[in-house]
Structure 1
């Protein structure tokens, strides 16, 4: 396939072009013939073609009409199903209507990577694993531990739902055009539903967002509209701490306590 395609800034396009890095990513994914797999943003097909070589069939989600046309010309619909449109609006559940677990891969556009991760969380119960290339800075936030500078809302909400690991870095020179940032590969495996114990996940999100809304302020200030001194005492949580000091399990305990207080009041 000719690669004379001008990367579009509005789609956050940086095309992977280093064959050694591509091979390393494919080996990390380990696609098997019968896997139900979808690639987000196939671009010029750097990962698409080696994935198709190992799979019976591949689904891709692409928004760029020129790239869609290229993919349609290059590949038979017997091997490749192209879903045209925005990955942020795509119903990934439609690919697993028969109950088969979904594997998701892709070089995610840097400008919308976080919204896509949250969008995909809605389908976590039907996903086997996800392997993505993202800006290294984002992945460091995703896998960060409590007490570190990178630890925040993204860390807590994703670690609540997934076991995650950073696999390896990808230098700017592996792309065309070369981005100004280092990239990394992350693997995300949904945690068993039984381990996701938040009574109200929307409330958990509200608590976490409040706790990190003003990072320099203590929990006493950031959660004052959600939790009083008696609540902190009952939970055994020091209100003088900042949100970055709490692990995921503690955020879940706080959210479940608030949910229980609301139910009692009702």
Structure 2
């Protein structure tokens, strides 16, 4: 790779695209990182250690792949755009530790990949599918120990918003069930080529030391919060009464009272811990198997 174009150089990226007769596709959310400082920050945030193995989603031209695989670290990188196959196979022809998977991450069993020993996820997620991919990662039983993801700033704000704010919602509730989530760095559009119309952010996810719930409780937690946030303008009392009616169970008003949650509260006012407590009690009250 010594004579290969520099992937953190705008001229190098343009050269590759020109030689391969490629144009970034807006439909795939393709914006290639060309800033060395941001690249180094992402790698530092990943806190890579001996024995770590990394899943990358959205290889692009391979700039992050190359940095992650330094020293022979195992990296499995997923890329949807078949036009990039020849470039990526050529770029990493001598890198035995890099496994290239040409596939759509939204159609893959990411949990099975994580179960193969990949303990970290580091990725510049495509803007077009970033939130959907993140949800699949969060809900995977083999949740990674640490994730460092470059996302749209709007998504990053939703992930870290405080309960009661307009930006707080289902994505933030789910993310904080298993992870401490923080924005590491806001990234300007000029760090990418072509420059996107939106700002980005590097977001860190550090898995909590203890599992917050059983898998059965987790399933109902997801069901409950998804149903409730679909009607976030309604009061909890009305939403939960509807859930109880579907199960031919009594309205769980007493559960709200026992947890000192106002029946008039709206979904975005409760934090993840409160939702987990409510899910546990409701699961018993509604006799969920």
TM-score between both structures, scaled by the size of structure 1: 0.90
Tell me how far apart the structure 1 counterparts of residues 186 and 285 of structure 2 sit (CA, whole Å).
45
The correspondence of residues 158-173 of structure 1 with structure 2, limited to 5 A, is 158-173=175-190
Q: Quote the residue 1:79 is aligned against.
A: 97
Q: Quote the residue 2:108 is aligned against.
A: 90
Runs of 4+ in 1 over 6 A off after TM superposition: none
Tell me how far apart the structure 2 counterparts of residues 42 and 63 of structure 1 sit (CA, whole Å).
9
CA apart distance, 1:20: 2.1
Say which of 4, 16, 27 aligns to 1:3.
16
**Is this contact kept in 2: 1:42–1:48, CA < 8 A?**
yes
**Structure 1 pair 191/42, CA: closer, same or farther in 2 (3 Å)?**
same
Q: Quote the residue 1:143 is aligned against.
A: 160
**Structure 1 pair 150/74, CA: closer, same or farther in 2 (3 Å)?**
same
Tell me how far apart the structure 1 counterparts of residues 51 and 213 of structure 2 sit (CA, whole Å).
29
Say which of 240, 255, 260 aligns to 1:231.
255
Aligned residues, how many? 264
For the aligned residue pairs, the C-alpha RMSD in angstroms reads 2.2
**Is this contact kept in 2: 1:198–1:252, CA < 8 A?**
no
Any unmatched runs of 5+ in structure 1? Answer: none
Cα deviation 1:4-60 (Å, max 9, x = unaligned)? 131112211111112222222222223345321121111011212222224433210
CA apart distance, 1:90: 2.3
**Is this contact kept in 2: 1:210–1:223, CA < 8 A?**
no
CA apart distance, 1:107: 0.6
**Structure 1 pair 199/256, CA: closer, same or farther in 2 (3 Å)?**
farther
Say which of 233, 236, 246 aligns to 1:216.
233
Tell me how far apart the structure 1 counterparts of residues 185 and 134 of structure 2 sit (CA, whole Å).
19
- Per mean C-alpha deviation after superposition, the further-off stretch among 24-33 and 182-191 is 24-33
Any unmatched runs of 5+ in structure 2? Answer: 6-14, 244-250
The correspondence of residues 93-104 of structure 1 with structure 2, limited to 5 A, is 93-95=111-113, 97=115, 100=117, 102-104=119-121
